[in-house]
Structure 1
Amino acid sequence: MRKKQSFILIILCVVSMLVVSACSQESTGGEGESNGNDDKVYKLKIGTALTDSDPIYQGLVDFKEQVSERTDGKVEFEIFGSGSLGEDNDLLEQAKVGTNVAVLVDSGRLADMVPEIGILAAPYIVNNFDEANKVAKSDLFKEWSDKLAEEHNLKILSFNWYQGERHILANKPVMTPEDLKGVKLRTPDAPIWLETMKSMGATPAGMAWSEVYPAIQQGVIDGAEAQHPATYGAKLYEVISDISKTRHFQLITGLVTSDQWMKDLPKGYQEIILEEALKAGEKASHNTEDMLADFEQKMIDEGVEVHEVDVEPFKKSTEAVYDKFDGYQELREEIQTIIQE
């Protein structure tokens, strides 16, 4: 009788343990979906070419702090400015193989993997942040983003980090495309950027942003093209005399990391990161808009001459760029439809 009672007791204990285990699994949502009740700390290194004076860099700091607060310190970001973590393309390659890195990058660099996404880096494709942001939130952009994750293991956390209009930086005024003949300008080493500079009349030179200052100083290049916050942050006002406001690109960028790294996080943490990336990008972009005039005035105070330019000749010269890339004329029409909706 005692043996029978003992056997029944053992069976009840086993059943009880199984029930508790099942309930625990259900409460956490299963593997990869818990809200992070364990003691593990997830770390991510974020690289950017920007300096800490840039409102976008400051937005990354806000992003880091909000995620840390909402995850009780279980998700830690470390920010590396001025390109100190590595060149953008190198960081993308690291993220593709699952390394815990992220990079703030333009769509031109992503176009090597998903060609369609490069249209956002095309000349005069949008007129301001609101238009660019509308495209970045569209179903069309989601298709590109999903393809990037599925085929290249790259996850876009948000693509609403607006860095401003890009202009020509040189040691002479550039008022027409003819003024760029024989001028060697730095631009990011991506096909859409290089073709745009060619179409505007310049000789493009792809190089890392951190190399631009000494390259101009030493006469390796004649100038560059960039947005005001980056120009000021890199102190290029010390090695150029003129900024010609061609507004050829509206620079909107995205925060990109390893899709596998994201999937390895508890589900709750994934949601927090995506929510805070959108919030931080939006806030930083509006701060950028508010500070553009201030950056311009600071460079004028440093002795740089800023020239208002008739952009129509530049728009006309860059029309040829859309014929260089398959489907870009059609994509431009789709984007105009999205903007007007």
Structure 2
Amino acid sequence: MTITRRSLMIGAAAVPLVATIRHAGAQSAEFNYKYANNLPISHPMNVRAQEAVDKIREETSGRVAIQIFPSNQLGADTDMLSQVRSGGVEFFTLSPLILSTLVPNASISGIGFAFPSYDQVWPAMDGDLGAYVRAEIEKANLVVMDKIWDNGFRQITSSAGPIETAESLKGMKIRVPVSPLWTSMFTAFESAPASINFAEVYSALQTGIVDGQENPLAIISTAKLYEVQKFCSITNHMWDGFWFLANKAAWEAMPEDVRAIVAKNLDEAAVNERADVADLNATLKEELVSNGMEINEPDAASFREKLKDAGFYAEWKGKYGDEAWAILEKAVGTTLG
């Protein structure tokens, strides 16, 4: 399946009907579970999740019915994290950086300018670094799938002007997700970071509460942030993904063979979603320009140097610990800081 801008928009328009059809009769299932996330229904994550949900229902002979609640329908990220812990929702996808409010070392994969490209990301997250983070998550009494979904390399948008160097960020009012790592990084840049849940980002940009924000291109596009932002700078300042989390009691309520079917399909969907995001990223710059954005591609050197000089890397190495930091540096193939 190929995800295109056109299919994204068709998917968004069709969701009320699709949801009604696909979840009709869900009450007859043995396990009726909810999956919540913060992305538009048209984002590749929700498209692939719906495919997985359909396959799970088929392969479990109707025993497992999962209903998708996109776009923060069940609350902001921090609310939904509480809900998946308490059992209010059974499944939830969340950035490891926001998850770090509960599992501090989960955010290590988001260290600024750590990953040069996807050539380092997937071997790391499917290998030792991902295994380390999953073990940390499980200590918090959550179940996590093996494969992390892609959110993408994050870029900075602004209403004030392009970001050319680290100096461009000085004094900028920028929205960041609710996570200590983001706040720390943009404080090191001498910006004025404001932690705002994603559900409120569009209005915060529209009303000028903040000058800009940072997100992967797919989110900038599907959330239509180009309507309230003029400039997009391809900084690639951090890579971000989504761990697929499950409430432990709800997960263990399913028999082992059923759990295996659910996990297999969710992990397969994650790998397919990664390819979708890669395909989208190849075309989104042109589409954002067609929607009125101006795009520039600054060099990363001044940004990394600024973080190093501000003590950002040294601070976070101390917070994560030597063991975790060594796993990260081995994965990214460079010495940070």
TM-score, length basis structure 1:
0.83
Question: What's the secondary structure of 2:72's corresponding residue?
Answer: coil
- Give the Cα separation in 1 of the matches to 2:176 and 2:270: 24
Task: Give yes or no for the alignment of 1:305 onto 2:294.
Answer: yes
- Residue 179 of structure 2 is matched in structure 1 by 190
Matched position secondary structure for 1:246:
coil
Number of aligned residue pairs: 301
Residue 54 (structure 1) shift: 1.5
8 Å contact 1:186–1:205 — kept in the other structure? yes
Aligned residue identity for 1:189: V
- Which aligned pairs between 1:147-296 and structure 2 lie closer than 5 A? 147-149=136-138, 151-171=139-159, 172-296=161-285
d(CA) in 2 for partners of 1:339 and 1:317?
20
d(CA) in 2 for partners of 1:128 and 1:271? 32
Shift of 1:264: 0.9
Residue matched to 1:6: none
What corresponds to 1:101 in structure 2? 90
Match of 2:13 in 1: none
Distance in 1 between the 2:227 and 2:312 partners?
32
Contact 1:159 1:252 survives alignment (8 Å): no
Distance 1:56 1:40, change over 3 A: closer
Tell me how far 1:318 sits from its aligned partner. 2.4
The equivalent of 2:120 in structure 1 is: 131
**For the residues of structure 2 that align with 1:77 and 1:295, how far apart are their CA atoms?**
31
Stretch of structure 1 that moved more, 125-134 or 153-162:
125-134
> What's 2:5 paired with?
none
Pairwise CA distance, 1:132: 2.4
Q: Relative to 1, partners in 2 of residues 1:143 and 1:163: Cα closer, same or farther, differing over 3 Å?
A: closer
Q: What is the aligned-residue identity percentage?
A: 25
SS of the aligned residue for 2:235 comes to: strand
C-alpha distance in 2 between matches for 1:130 and 1:83: 31
Structure 1: 4+ residue segments shifted above 6 A = none
Q: CA separation in 2, counterparts of 1:100 and 1:209? A: 19
Residues 1:315 and 1:329: Cα distance change in structure 2 (over 3 Å): farther
Residue aligning to 1:336: 329
Aligned with residue 87 of structure 1, among 59, 76, 86:
76
Contact kept? 1:168, 1:245, Cα under 8 Å: yes
Task: Provide the secondary structure at the position in 2 that maps to 1:79.
Answer: strand
The structure that has the greater radius of gyration is 1
Q: Which residue of 1 aligns with 2:7?
A: none
Deviations 1:219-248 (A, max 9, x none): 111110011111111111011110011100
Which residue number corresponds to residue 312 of structure 2? 321
User: Structure 2: how far apart are the matches of 1:100 and 1:48?
Assistant: 10
Equivalent of residue 42 in structure 2, options 36, 53, 76: 53
Letter of the 2:327 partner, please give it.
Answer: E
Report 1:113-128 matches (<5 A): 113-128=102-117
Distance 1:329 1:296 in 2: 38
Partner of 1:32: none
Structure 1: which amino acid aligns with 2:79?
A: D
Deviates more, 1:109-118 or 1:67-76: 109-118
Please tell me the root mean square deviation across aligned C-alpha atoms, in Å: 1.9
* 2: CA distance, partners of 1:170 / 1:329: 35
Gaps of 5+ in 1: 1-38
Structure 2 Cα separation of the partners of residues 133 and 65 of structure 1: 26
Which letter maps to 2:280? M
